[in-house]
Amino acid sequence: MVQNHSSFLFDAAISGNVEFLIILIRSYPDLIWSLDEKKRSIFHFAIIYRQESVFNLIYELGAIKGISALYTDNHHNNMLQLAAEIAPPDRLNIISGAALKLQRELLWFKEIEKIVQPSYRKKKNIDENKKTLDTPWELFTKTHKNLHKEGEKWMKDTANYGMLVATMIATVVFTTAFTVPGGNNQELGTAILLSGKWFMAFFISDAIALVSSSTSILTFLSILTSRYADKDFLYSLPARLLLGLATLFISIASMVIAFSATCFLVYDSEITCSNYYNKFGCHSSYIVFNFTL
């Protein structure tokens, strides 16, 4: 009977069925210490199959979670060495983007590193022929070598595309700043529509678009010039990518606002705000609808 419960336990850990695990462990508390024929516990399975919700149960063990972290399988693999192996394809592919996949793998490795004994972090494994193998970090580097290459390419491609768009926006808004709507007064050198109620909206949004697009260009440039070490994919590169995309989005939004303000400045006497927004909303809905199809 206990053997059957253990089998259910490991199947639930592999599939990530944490609700069933909790019910089963509450009914049979000793099952949490059960090991399979390869001396692996549910926490070993959670690491192998990257089941976060299952692994989080180890923190509910309190002070005795360190005992579970000491367990090794019949190949003398501790938890950190299992985390150094690459995740199964079905678990790896739940995130799009090779760089973000590598970040998730690094987060797993660093999380397991916190709970294992310090000696395990540098411990080298031994194979069946008693040959000394790699430390957990050396193993991680080897098993994720291809993912690292894919992540570097993905990050560079994304940065290149983003920088191209940001450069185009910066060029447009910079040029627009010196060719204001309505032209300039030849005698005074000031904008003819300077007193227009939409001129300030145009000027501010154009300035924001220029600053944000320039920031985006510099951010993407820093990504392209990065050394692309494994640990850079943990926080540094994803943070730069997020900043680059965020400033790029701001520049696009500001450019659209500047364009709208220009339309109001030039055609204010011919169209009303309600008509403009109705037309803009209809065209936007049409574009989005056709894009989704």
pLDDT category at 289 given cuts 50, 70, 90 is very low
Measure the N-to-C terminal CA separation of the chain; round to a whole number of Å.
54
Assess whether 76 and 155 both reside in one domain.
no
pLDDT category at 34 given cuts 50, 70, 90 is confident
Assess whether 90 and 157 both reside in one domain.
no
pTM: 0.80
Assess whether 152 and 138 both reside in one domain.
no
Domain that holds residue 229: 146-292
Assess whether 134 and 39 both reside in one domain.
yes
Mean predicted confidence (pLDDT) in 175-201: 59
CATH label of the domain that carries residue 80: 1.25.40.20
Give percent helix, percent strand, percent coil of the chain, each to the nearest 5. 70, 0, 25
Last residue of a domain, one of 95, 111, 143: 143
Assess whether 81 and 159 both reside in one domain.
no
Q: Could you say which DSSP state residue 198 is in?
A: T
Q: What one-letter code names the amino acid at 144?
A: H
Assess whether 185 and 135 both reside in one domain.
no
What does the pLDDT look like over 237-270, one tens digit per residue? Answer: 999 999 999 999 999 999 998 888 777 766 664 5
> Which residues, 6+ apart, have CB-to-CB distance to 107 below 8 Å?
234
Assess whether 185 and 214 both reside in one domain.
yes
Q: Could you say which DSSP state residue 193 is in?
A: T
Assess whether 104 and 212 both reside in one domain.
no
Residue that has been written with the tokens 């010039």 in this structure: 225
Torsion angle (degrees, nearest 10) of CA 258, 262, 268, 270:
-120
Last residue of a domain, one of 143, 166, 188: 143
Number of domains in the chain: 2
Do 87 and 105 touch, CB atoms closer than 8 A?
Answer: yes
Largest Cα–Cα separation, the chain? 97
Residue 132 — φ and ψ, nearest 5°?
Answer: -70, 130
Assess whether 120 and 193 both reside in one domain.
no
Q: Is the pLDDT of residue 135 over 50?
A: yes
Do 194 and 262 touch, CB atoms closer than 8 A?
Answer: no
Residues 173 and 75: their CA atoms lie apart, in Å, by 62
Assess whether 154 and 88 both reside in one domain.
no
Q: Is the pLDDT of residue 121 over 80?
A: yes
Residue 291: CB atoms within 10 A of its CB come to 7
Assess whether 138 and 7 both reside in one domain.
yes
What value does the CA radius of gyration of the chain take, rounded to a whole number of Å? 29
Last residue of a domain, one of 143, 164, 199: 143
Angle at 175 (CA atoms; ends 169, 176), nearest 5 degrees: 85
Assess whether 105 and 185 both reside in one domain.
no
Q: What is the 3-state secondary structure (H, E, C) of 209-237?
A: HHHHHHHHHHHHHHHHCCCCCHHHHCCHH
pLDDT category at 285 given cuts 50, 70, 90 is very low
